[in-house]
Chains A and B, each alone.
Chain A
Amino acid sequence: MSGMRERGVWVALAATLTIGGLLVYADGGALFGQSSTVSMLQRAAGLGIVAIGQTFAILAGSLDLSVGFVISLTSLIAAETMAGSNGMVAPAILAVLAVSAGIGLVNGLLITKLRINAFIATLGVGLVIKGYLEHGYAGPAGSVPASFQRLGYDRIGPIPMSFLLMVAVAVVSWVVLKRTRFGHHVLAVGGDVDVARLSGVRTDRVLIRTHVICSLCAGIAGLYLASRLGAGAPRVGAEGGYDLESIAAVVLGGTVLAGGRGGVAGTVGGVALLAAIDSVFNQLAIDPFFKQVVRGTVIIAAVAVYALRLRRKEALA
């Protein structure tokens, strides 16, 4: 079942690339030229890493609305700790991972121990971080050394380092979800939390871990954005719309919002689809705002198609 849902997004991606590529070609451009491929992959990297983390939370039946603010916060922690010095890169990365894991832990504890709805808990935590950011920072702060900027700019052929980073995160996540006991527990908790508990899964612990992973991924995306921008940016996460767009990418990839069904591969497809639409529109120089209209329509249409297929399958069964 989930395999079929995940295939849907790849079909849509292939169609977008083919039709978009032809349109761009007819327009006198090239969708697969070096520079447009690079920018397409770079756009995919940041959102992709966040969305992979979000996949864990959603699979477990939860969701995380705080990721946008975690990205901004960790980009600042990275840039301010590094302060332009090579020697501070490793401590800065550790600090970012520690802080983001801590935020994930708080999210998870609020949801499991205080039994606050995930929507409200992560929205509340996000607002607290937002207040801290707006109070403490008027604009970009800190700076990353040239060596760390290579993460944002280096590439092997047409493939940016950042895209490889996303692929690495995706592969690790795929293995964790498909091949470990924890991965099976995540799906069990998302499918039916009571059944999972009765079959001996420590459901609270599983849910907390998914939130820690989700925040860690947001922290990694914050590191990437700091390297890309050369500094920490207090509004980069909120302005990029990472919170809602990461959820949209996950759902576009065939993962069910209620949890229990789906996976990382689909999410990567969802992110690639959004990035491909972006690229086609950029190459055709269509009004950038109109892109949003298309995104919204594609997201709704995709989920409607998944729902229709599910109904057909149930009718056949």
Chain B
Amino acid sequence: MTAEATLPSRWRFGRLTGIGPILALLAVLLMVIAIRQPSFYDPPSLLAFLKRAAPLVILAAGQYFVIVAGDFDLSVGSLVTAEVVIAARLIDGDPAMTWPVVALMIGFGLMVGLANGLITTALRVPSFITTLGMYLILVGAVYTWTGGSPRGALTEEFRLLGRRGIEGIPFLQQLPYAVLVLAGIATIAVVLMRSDFGKVLLAVGGNPRAAALSGARVNLMRVIAFLISGLFAAVAAVLLGGFGGVSFQVGAGLEFTAITAVVLGGVVLGGGRGSVIGAMLGAVTLEVLFTLLNLFGVSGALKSAVQGLIIIAAVAIGRTRRN
């Protein structure tokens, strides 16, 4: 206690301790990879890893804003699926449609976020229920609209963002667009949280009544958090659509993985505590863990078991250290 108090710029130290556990876990996993497969650290393969991790990190960043404001967003996985399926059907292989549809996807993500936010705040439905209902609605709607199997096709232009990159960069070979998108989103997220908006959002999640009494527009902040989550999910959908094929499975379960990542990053469910950097590091850590499990030849089936144990252990250790 006293040692900490005598340190200069204590707020900075405090911010770092928040992400201490996740940094330690990430460091351990990265060290194991270094021993097992040093070639992971070749710049091209490192960038390929970041490209793979980008969608989950972006989703975790979006989920962070909602969670830190005291809510949940269970609809992001189904939103990603809906976005990709809608894009494939509307583009239907026509290159001229690519960018209008990408714009439409962004708009759709914002719209879903707005609906989640308004239902949660104006109608006072708990966000768990709002977004669970939205999840059912989105899944049902895309299945109904496509008659049970995805139709249409994405264009090469669309897949560019998820698959390709700027070629011919010395030393790196290729700089994937997905990594650039990730860098952009991460910058936006960090800047937002360092701004007044971020401070008010934390206050709203920590104690909504106190925040309201000190003049914060609590409901507006919560709606904006849902808007950000919807927007980031749309961006993740553009990348995921580029990586893989069009299927109803593309977003399945991503909401839980994103929430897991956020919690792993030291963010407290219920709101008010934790950093967006921690949330994104949580997502990177999960992806490193999946890579590591692959390296050790752990069957895909056991992955979720290991994932479950790590979450429980990480959260339990985080708790006992805090107390």
Chain A CB within 10 Å — which of B126, B133, B316 has the most?
A: B133
- Neighbour of B129 across the interface among A120, A132, A303, CB < 8 A: A303
Q: Does A292 contact B (CB under 8 A)?
A: yes
Interface residues of B, Cβ cutoff 8 Å to A: 74, 119, 123-126, 128-130, 132-137, 139-141, 143-144, 148, 256, 259-260, 263, 269-270, 299-309, 311-312, 315-316, 319-320, 323
User: How many residue pairs, one in A and one in B, have C-beta atoms under 8 Å apart?
Assistant: 142
CB distance from B87 to the nearest CB of A (A): 19
Q: Is A299 in contact with B260, judged by CB distance below 8 angstroms? A: no
Complex CA gap A244/B256 in Å reads 12
Complex CA gap A188/B139 in Å reads 37
Complex CA gap A132/B305 in Å reads 7
Complex CA gap A121/B313 in Å reads 10
Q: Scan A12-42; emit 1 where CB is below 8 A from any B CB, else 0.
A: 0000000000000000000000000000000
- Neighbour of B304 across the interface among A127, A307, A311, CB < 8 A: A127
Q: Is A125 in contact with B125, judged by CB distance below 8 angstroms? A: no
Q: Is B307 in contact with A127, judged by CB distance below 8 angstroms? A: yes
Q: Scan A251-289; emit 1 where CB is below 8 A from any B CB, else 0.
A: 100000110000000000000000000000000000101
Give the size category of A's interface with B: 35 or more
- Neighbour of B312 across the interface among A121, A244, A251, A307, CB < 8 A: A121
Q: Is A130 in contact with B119, judged by CB distance below 8 angstroms? A: no
- Residues of the A chain whose Cβ atoms lie less than 8 Å from the Cβ of B259: 119, 123
The 10 closest A-B pairs by CB, nearest first: A131-B305, A292-B140, A127-B308, A296-B136, A289-B143, A134-B301, A296-B137, A300-B133, A293-B140, A128-B308
Complex CA gap A111/B18 in Å reads 22
Q: Does A115 contact B (CB under 8 A)?
A: yes
Q: Is A307 in contact with B134, judged by CB distance below 8 angstroms? A: no
Q: Scan A152-187; emit 1 where CB is below 8 A from any B CB, else 0.
A: 000000000000000000000000000000000000
**Nearest neighbor of B307 in chain A, beta-carbon distance:** A127
Name the prevailing secondary structure of the B interface residues: helix
Q: Is A131 in contact with B140, judged by CB distance below 8 angstroms? A: no
Complex CA gap A251/B119 in Å reads 16
Q: Is B144 in contact with A289, judged by CB distance below 8 angstroms? A: yes
- Residues of the B chain whose Cβ atoms lie less than 8 Å from the Cβ of A120: 260, 263, 269, 311-312, 315
Q: Is B126 in contact with A296, judged by CB distance below 8 angstroms? A: no
Q: Is A131 in contact with B308, judged by CB distance below 8 angstroms? A: yes
CB distance from B4 to the nearest CB of A (A): 23
CB distance from B224 to the nearest CB of A (A): 20
Q: Is A292 in contact with B143, judged by CB distance below 8 angstroms? A: yes
CB distance from B24 to the nearest CB of A (A): 19
Complex CA gap A124/B311 in Å reads 6
- Residues of the B chain whose Cβ atoms lie less than 8 Å from the Cβ of A307: 123-125
Q: Is A300 in contact with B125, judged by CB distance below 8 angstroms? A: yes
- Residues of the B chain whose Cβ atoms lie less than 8 Å from the Cβ of A247: 128, 132
- Residues of the A chain whose Cβ atoms lie less than 8 Å from the Cβ of B126: 251, 257-258, 303
Complex CA gap A251/B304 in Å reads 28
Complex CA gap A120/B143 in Å reads 30
CB distance from B188 to the nearest CB of A (A): 27
Offer 15 A-B interface pairs, CB within 8 angstroms, sorted by A.
A116-B312, A117-B269, A127-B304, A127-B307, A130-B304, A244-B135, A257-B129, A293-B144, A295-B136, A296-B135, A299-B132, A300-B123, A304-B124, A304-B125, A307-B123
